[in-house]
Amino acid sequence: MAKRTKKVGIVGKYGVRYGASLRKTIKKLEVSQHAKYNCNFCGKDSLKRKAVGIWECKACKKVLAGGAYVCRT
């Protein structure tokens, strides 16, 4: 696993590459992509991204179609 720092978070894996403004944009995307969302069916905070546009609730096992990086577009 790549070393991350407190300041840059998940984009620490890119190191000094790609420029600060691009890494800042990617950070916003990746944080929202890996976050847990609220399920419409069971109401629990357990909806996670399975693949691009496919979201699965870990509690009730429902599979939803949504956005690529966020559940609801």
Reported as type and span, the H/E element at residue 23 is: helix 20-34
Q: Which CATH architecture has domain 12-66?
A: Single Sheet (2.20)
pLDDT score for 5: 74
Between 55 and 73, the more confident residue is 55
Look up residue 58 and give its two tokens.
């870990």
37-47 in b/e form (b: 16+ CB < 10 A) is bebeeeeeeeb
1 by Cβ neighbours in 10 Å (0-12 / 13-18 / 19+) ranks as: exposed
Answer yes or no: is pLDDT of 2 > 70. Answer: no
For the stretch 3-60, pLDDT in tens is 657 889 999 899 999 999 999 999 999 999 999 999 999 999 999 999 999 999 999 9
**CA 60, 52, 14: angle at the middle one, nearest 5?**
115
Q: What's this model's pTM, rounded to 2 decimal places?
A: 0.81
What are the sequence ranges of the domains in the chain? 12-66
